[in-house]
Amino acid sequence: MTTSTTRVLALLEILQGGGTRTVADLAARLGVDERTVRRYAGHLLELGVPVESLRGRYGGYRLAPGHRMPPLMLTDEEALAVLLGLLVAQRTGPVTASGAASESAAAKLRRVLPKALGRRLEALLETADFTAPPRSAGAREAGLLLGLAEAARDRRPVALGYTDRRGRSSERTVWPYGLVAHGGRWYLTAADPSAGPATDPSAGPATDPSTDPSAGPATAPSTDPSAGPVAGPAEVRTFRLDRVTGMHVLPGSFESPPDFEPVAAVLDSLAGAPWAHEVRVRVRAEEHHVRRHLPPGLATLSPLPPEDGADWTEVRLRAERLDWIPAVLAALDRPFVIDRPPELRTLVTSLADRLTMYATASAPEAPAPDDH
């Protein structure tokens, strides 16, 4: 490879870093004069690389938006990051497309990598494994994710088809606030003006109704795009993306609460999901200590007024079964008071009795040695 060809490729690599580069800056980085930089840019144009020239004081060169980066220009570290990102996303990340799409993308990248780098990455892919099985998803989920993201960014109301956890289907208009990736899934936070109280099973399709009254009022959409947003209260709800059966953007606009946090809304919503049991326990410990054992999305924590100079935290969670909770309370290793449900006290007492029995039991005698 000639020196000039090497520098042309170096120019492409610099431009792929994004932004506009002045001719003087490029000349200094490439070790050539400005006239040569312009000639190199012309070579890239001849090769079909869309290099744009910008005039003026802050002008220079940049790549046109949408240009697909040649994978050959990836460094070893960049190629490793891309391939591992595809593999990890398929195994443990929020799924937005089929496994076949991730595999085909990785295969295309591997085909154009230099042989030496390709062999090293193949060795890693052949020897690496994950404890979690690959997640599955339909290809339509990627389209839904992108469509809802645009609607949330542009503050446009959306007609949403949804199937809830009980298999009930419905159609409704929502005002998307944001998208959150959690636990390998995507969730949509949205204001739902047609929703009833969170405890009403006929309220509609939301998977996990929010129980946080501080979420703030939503703003109603305008059916006339020129009318502007109209304020009005609405309940904030959480929808699982894989349960959305269809969506289309509606005319109008809305305004989300200025201090709304989608992540907090989703975690609070999941922690308050309508399961069989509602648990409330007061723990004599600071919130950060309790949180190490009860992560967001599983429990809602609230600080309580200190008693006898000690911090107390209220734990609220919902669960389909109670049998796992006594072990978590024991792991806290702090005094606690069970407010509800009463049957949890029985389970905790039973666990304490078993632990006492195990700790005080005598070890079995070792068998006598065989003299023969």
For 297-346, how does the pLDDT look when each residue is reduced to its tens digit (9 = 90+)? 788 899 999 888 899 999 998 888 899 999 999 999 999 999 999 999 99
The DSSP H or E segment spanning 366 is: none
Q: Which of 58-62, 133-137, 266-270, 284-288 has the highest mean pLDDT?
A: 284-288
Place of tokens 């004069």: 33
Mean pLDDT of 174-199: 77
Minimum mean pLDDT range among 19-33, 72-86, 132-146, 202-216: 202-216
* pLDDT above 60 (res 56): yes
Minimum mean pLDDT range among 70-74, 221-225, 258-262, 296-300: 221-225
Distance (Å, rounded) from C-alpha 230 to C-alpha 218?
10
Average pLDDT value over all residues in the chain: 77
Query: Within 13 Å, how many C-alpha atoms sit on residue 301's CB side?
Result: 20
Indicate the pTM of the whole model: 0.51
β-pairing, 336-340 vs 300-307, is unpaired
Burial class from Cβ neighbours inside 10 Å (0-12, 13-18, 19+) for residue 60 reads buried
CB 221 within 8 A of CB 254: yes
Distance (Å, rounded) from C-alpha 105 to C-alpha 153?
28
Who's near 22: CB < 8 A, 6+ residues apart? 58, 59, 60
Who's near 308: CB < 8 A, 6+ residues apart? none
Cα–Cα nearest to 296, from 183, 199, 179, 165 = 183
Q: Give pLDDT, residue 342.
A: 93
For 94-124, how does the pLDDT look when each residue is reduced to its tens digit (9 = 90+)? 555 555 666 667 776 776 666 777 777 777 7
* Interaxial angle between packed helices 325-332 and 342-360, expressed in degrees from 0 to 180 and rounded to the nearest 10: 70
Q: Give pLDDT, residue 222.
A: 41
Distance (Å, rounded) from C-alpha 322 to C-alpha 304?
24
For 114-162, how does the pLDDT look when each residue is reduced to its tens digit (9 = 90+)? 677 777 777 777 777 766 666 555 445 677 888 898 999 999 999 999 9
Minimum mean pLDDT range among 7-21, 182-196, 276-290: 182-196
Give percent of the chain above pLDDT 90: 28
CB count in 10 Å sphere of residue 151:
22
Rg of the chain on CA atoms, in Å: 29
Q: Give pLDDT, residue 344.
A: 95
Q: Give pLDDT, residue 78.
A: 75
Rounded to an integer, what is the distance from CA 340 to the centroid of its chain? 32
